[in-house]
């Protein structure tokens, strides 16, 4: 019997040369094999196409270099390391590399296929389940869900039963002062169905019919009303008792006791009515003030003290016995109506997918998991199990629960047959929980025992990216921040995050705090600081492409990009330069609207003003007079007036594609110039893509534009000498000589509501073992229920971990300089913990706004 091989788990902090490490181990397996086509038995999985391409490129480049007799200096140390480790002579390693390179080039498709993203692997496996069907992959989940919602609304409005439910739901929303438009709610539940973290809960919910939901809703309403009446009754008892005994409400100390019973009487019981002051006074037997309460009232209270205390204690017993169920019932009732529509959504899902012959990219992991469960170990898995002997999984902290479950069997099978598996990740760089990434999978592998395989855990400690001062700063900062965590595991992850230094020289870190007077125009003030810092960096002989500005969200990116562009600084950004904001695009779009709707005089006026203001057309008349003269003309005459120097007519538009019409508009108005090349060509690229999606109808194109315009940005080459602006999420895996963090003050606890599932007693919910709730800030006030409090604390712990991870990713991208800008905030702000770190280092000074580590470069 073979002894299972070892699962190697490498905890690789930022800048530790993870890709190089993976490539080195990949090459070891490749060169250690007597077979030149061993690459066919290696499956290397990454999370992005870019990472996959980078890994392929590096492996191929190394093999190519090793096959040369004269090896470049860059690859010499790796060549010597492998020769020594494999116990091969340099000649043997050289000859083996030549044979492997020949084998790869003659079967490059296998090599390329075997270094893949997990999503691509999953899709290829699923396609094999439908060998005779032509199925395409739909990447735009939101667009698909919008179509589902519109179809459902059209269909349900024709059903009397569902119409009543939809009207009832809208009325419930109106009563609470919320938006009654059900589209938003339908979209939310449709999104829940495709979002992977809801997979197991949705499967359970699907077993509930509409009648089951109605029955459960009635049960919850009766149960909550029963408890509310009990509380109301206790409140009424108290005030009847006061009337009977002639005790005045104001006679009680601070009026706390009457206020408490009044809350119960009017049903104000959701948040804890047992105030600390009231509880303390009750325990001490203090019911009235020694000074402000009259003697007569004191006598009456003392005489009835036992009865008052009994009534209070009985009320407290009733409240504490029922409050847990009551709270959960009330929270679930907010969502139960919309959940009941889940079957109708599912029907529409399948109808549209079958009609269009598509699969949603967002549901691939769920489809595959279902297949595995149904067949235990599907035939395709047997085929893959035979094909692959070695597994590499990169960025494992970003893997989702289902992704790991779907490939876990393959990995364990390889290990049981003396293959190999290597997992590389860093829990501190887990920042994709919002889209399904589950760092708990890596944390579980690191901290738990497995009977299926042996484990070897190793931390890659050296930072090869950043200069000394930056590594030291991050080591100290995150040692300090680790104290924030209540979770021992999260605390341990950051406590043990100290890195060794490779580049033992230089580096510079600067922290800038904005004082309260400057907070009024905070964003503008930050921009001025950023612009001045860029000028200073350029004087230090950095070029624009050396500088990266990392932001928390797209809104911040849009703001900075537009400001920098206005000031003549070239920007390359993945978050901004939305093409909709550019004059020439606005002209083209308005022109399309006028063609689609000739009587849209508002659009005509907008177009004329754009053309006049920017001198694309001219007139000797006043703008208002010119507009009034031409705006109401028939379309053909209107076009002649604004295009009198050109020969653009309606007749020439017929039988033309939208792309050709776009080019005609550009040429007619001479929109293209040296400054706007990127925006024009980016728009034309969008037009070309839109034709594939919606065809050649102008009306459909404009609908598609309205849907996509907030995401469509200019395409700029990575080789352009421009400052890069990107979100912190997009920056993961990248590095830059200089990193600017302009708004380092986001909340570590989100203000947004987040939908979560809570496990409950199925006997209380007609068989449901989990209910859907929306976490909101007021949950922190629900301290009287241990179950909810514990659940909320775990939720908060994960959110805080996510946000500290986000800071970690941001502060570990720089090679030479790291510059932070922040306004001071309370303990909910990330800036609070940066300030606390400075305080611990005995550096903090209330009058000081700038702190630095290391020496700043001198201007050249």
For residues 427-439, one letter each, b for 16 or more C-beta atoms within 10 angstroms of the residue's C-beta and e for the rest, the string is: bbbbbbbeebbbb
Note whether 724 and 545 are within 8 A (CB). Answer: yes
Task: Compute mean pLDDT per 10 residues along the chain, 860 residues long, and list them.
Answer: 74 90 94 94 91 92 91 90 93 94 93 91 84 79 87 76 66 58 80 89 88 92 95 94 92 90 90 85 88 88 93 92 88 85 87 89 90 70 83 94 91 88 94 86 85 84 95 96 92 93 91 74 91 95 95 90 84 71 87 88 88 80 84 86 67 78 86 78 88 84 86 69 92 94 91 83 91 80 72 89 96 97 88 95 92 88
pLDDT value of residue 542: 95
Distance CA(508)–CA(467), nearest Å, equals 8
Strands 115-117, 723-727: pairing is unpaired
Number of H helices and E strands in the chain, helices first, is: 34, 19
Q: What residues does 754 pair with on adjacent strands?
A: 775
CA distances from 551 to 469, 556, 580 (A): 23, 6, 21
Q: Residue 72: which region, alpha, beta or left (left: phi > 0; alpha: psi -120 to 50)?
A: beta
Q: Is 642 helix (H, G, I), strand (E, B) or coil?
A: helix
CA distance 649 to 656: 12
**Rounded Cα gap, residues 266 and 234, in angstroms:** 11
Q: Assess contact for 630 and 642: CB atoms under 8 A.
A: yes
What's the length of the chain? Answer: 860
Instruction: Check residue 555 and give its pLDDT.
Output: 86
Cα-based torsion angle of the residue sequence 403, 406, 407, 409 in order, rounded to the nearest 10 degrees? 150
Residue 167's pLDDT is what? 67
pLDDT in tens, 699-755: 889 988 988 887 787 766 666 788 999 999 999 989 999 999 999 999 998 777 788
Residue 39 tokens read as 């690459």
pLDDT score recorded for residue 380: 67
Q: CA 490, 494, 498 angle in degrees (round to 5)? A: 160
Cα atoms in the Cβ-side hemisphere of radius 13 Å centred on 85: 13
Q: How far apart are CA 324 and CA 328, in angstroms?
A: 6
| Vertex 53 angle, CA 51 and 56, to 5° | 110
pLDDT (0 to 100) of residue 1: 43
Confidence at residue 171, expressed as pLDDT on a 0 to 100 scale: 65
Produce one character per residue of 288-308: b if its CB has 16 or more CB atoms within 10 Å, e if not. Answer: beeeebeeebeebbeebeeeb
- The number of beta carbons lying within 10 Å of the beta carbon of residue 461 is 14
- CB-CB contact of 281 with 257 (8 Å): no
What's the pLDDT score for residue 494?
95
Two structure tokens written together for 387 = 């094909």
User: Which phi and psi angles does 442 have, rounded to 5°?
Assistant: -70, -45
Structure tokens at 93: 């390693």
Calpha distance 228→326 (Å, rounded): 9
Taking the C-alpha atoms of residue 179 and residue 577, their distance in angstroms, rounded to an integer, is: 32
Question: Which residues have CB under 8 Å from 158's CB, separation 6+?
Answer: none
Q: Give the span between the Cα atoms of 299 and 305, in whole angstroms.
A: 10
pLDDT at 184 (0 to 100)? 79
What is d(CA 145, CA 191) in angstroms, rounded to the nearest whole number? Answer: 7
Nearest to 722 by CA among 566, 572, 854, 540: 572
- The pLDDT value recorded for residue 396 is 94
User: 719: exposed, middle or buried (C-beta count within 10 Å: 0-12, 13-18, 19+)?
Assistant: exposed
Pairing of strands 420-425, 454-460: unpaired
Per-residue pLDDT, 43:
96
- pLDDT number for residue 649: 65
């Amino acid at each position: 019997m073979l002894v299972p091989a070892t699962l190697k788990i490498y905890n690789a902090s930022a800048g530790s040369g993870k890709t190089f490490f993976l490539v080195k181990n990949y090459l070891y397996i490749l060169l250690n094999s007597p077979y030149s086509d061993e690459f066919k038995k290696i499956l290397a999985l990454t999370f992005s196409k870019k990472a996959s391409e980078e890994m392929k490129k590096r492996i191929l480049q190394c093999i190519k270099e090793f096959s040369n007799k004269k090896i470049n200096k860059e690859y010499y140390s790796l060549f010597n390391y492998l020769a020594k480790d494999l116990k091969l002579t340099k000649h043997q390693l050289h000859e083996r590399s030549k044979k492997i390179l020949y084998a790869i080039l003659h079967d490059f498709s296998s090599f390329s296929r075997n270094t893949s993203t997990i999503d691509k692997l999953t899709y290829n496996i699923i396609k094999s389940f439908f060998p005779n069907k032509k199925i395409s992959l739909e990447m735009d989940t939101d667009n698909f869900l919008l179509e589902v919602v519109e179809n459902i609304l059209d269909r349900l409005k024709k059903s009397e039963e569902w119409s009543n439910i939809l009207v009832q739901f809208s009325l419930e929303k109106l009563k609470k002062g919320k938006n009654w438009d059900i589209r938003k709610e339908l979209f939310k539940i449709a999104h829940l169905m495709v979002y992977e973290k809801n997979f197991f809960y949705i499967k359970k919910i699907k077993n509930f019919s509409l009648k089951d939901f109605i029955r459960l809703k009635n049960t919850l309403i009766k149960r909550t009303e029963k408890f509310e009446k009990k509380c109301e009754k206790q409140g009424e008892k108290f005030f009847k008792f006061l009337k009977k005994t002639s005790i005045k409400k104001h006679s009680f100390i601070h009026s706390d006791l009457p206020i408490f019973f009044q809350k119960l009487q009017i049903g104000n019981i959701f948040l804890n009515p047992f105030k600390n002051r009231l509880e303390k006074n009750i325990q001490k037997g203090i019911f009235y003030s020694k000074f402000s309460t009259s003697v007569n009232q004191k006598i009456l209270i003392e005489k009835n003290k036992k009865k008052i205390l009994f009534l209070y204690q009985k009320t407290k017993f009733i409240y504490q016995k029922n409050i847990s169920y009551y709270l959960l019932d009330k929270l679930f009732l907010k969502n139960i109506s919309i959940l009941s529509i889940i079957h109708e959504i599912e029907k529409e899902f399948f109808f549209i997918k079958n009609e269009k012959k598509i699969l949603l990219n967002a549901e691939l992991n769920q489809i595959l998991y279902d297949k595995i469960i149904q067949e235990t170990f599907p035939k395709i898995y047997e085929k893959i199990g035979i094909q692959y002997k070695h597994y590499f999984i990169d960025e494992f902290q970003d893997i989702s629960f289902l992704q790991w479950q779907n490939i876990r069997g393959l990995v364990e099978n390889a290990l049981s047959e003396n293959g190999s598996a290597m997992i590389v990740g860093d829990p501190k760089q887990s920042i994709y929980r919002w889209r399904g990434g589950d760092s708990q999978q890596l944390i579980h592998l690191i901290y738990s025992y497995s009977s299926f395989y042996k484990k070897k855990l190793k931390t890659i400690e050296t930072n090869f990216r950043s200069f000394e001062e930056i590594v030291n700063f991050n080591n100290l900062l995150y040692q300090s921040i680790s104290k924030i965590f209540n979770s021992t595991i999260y605390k341990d992850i950051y406590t043990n995050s100290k890195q060794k230094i490779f580049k033992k020289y230089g580096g510079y870190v600067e922290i800038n705090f904005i004082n309260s007077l400057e907070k009024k125009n905070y964003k503008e003030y930050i921009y001025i600081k950023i612009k001045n810092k860029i000028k200073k960096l350029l004087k230090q002989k950095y070029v624009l492409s050396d500088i990266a500005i990392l932001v928390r969200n797209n809104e911040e990116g849009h703001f900075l990009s537009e400001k920098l562009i206005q000031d003549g600084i070239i920007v390359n950004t993945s978050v901004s330069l939305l093409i909709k904001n550019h004059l020439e695009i606005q002209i083209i779009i308005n022109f399309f609207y006028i063609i689609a709707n000739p009587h849209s005089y508002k659009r005509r006026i907008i177009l004329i003003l754009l053309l006049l203001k920017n001198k694309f057309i001219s007139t000797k008349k006043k703008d208002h007079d010119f507009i009034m003269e031409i705006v109401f003309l028939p379309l053909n005459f209107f076009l002649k007036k604004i295009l009198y120097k050109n020969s653009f007519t309606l007749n020439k538009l017929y039988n033309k594609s939208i792309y050709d019409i776009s080019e005609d508009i550009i040429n007619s108005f001479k929109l293209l110039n040296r400054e706007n090349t990127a925006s024009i060509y980016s728009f034309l690229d969008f037009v070309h893509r839109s034709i594939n999606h919606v065809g050649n109808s102008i009306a459909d194109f404009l609908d598609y534009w309205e849907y996509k315009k907030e995401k469509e940005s200019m395409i700029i080459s990575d080789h352009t000498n421009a400052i890069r602006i990107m979100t912190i999420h997009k920056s993961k895996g990248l590095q830059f000589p200089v990193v600017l963090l302009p708004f380092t003050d986001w909340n570590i606890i989100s203000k947004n509501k987040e939908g979560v599932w809570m496990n409950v007693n199925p006997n209380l919910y007609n068989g449901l073992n989990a209910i859907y709730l929306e976490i909101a800030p007021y949950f922190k006030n629900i301290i009287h229920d241990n179950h909810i409090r514990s659940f909320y604390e775990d939720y908060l712990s994960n959110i805080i971990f996510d946000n500290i991870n986000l800071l970690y990713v941001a502060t570990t991208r720089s090679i030479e300089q790291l510059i932070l800008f922040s306004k001071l905030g309370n303990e909910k702000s990330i800036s609070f913990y940066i300030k606390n770190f400075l305080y611990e280092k005995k550096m903090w000074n209330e009058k000081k706004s700038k702190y630095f580590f290391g020496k700043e470069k001198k201007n050249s």
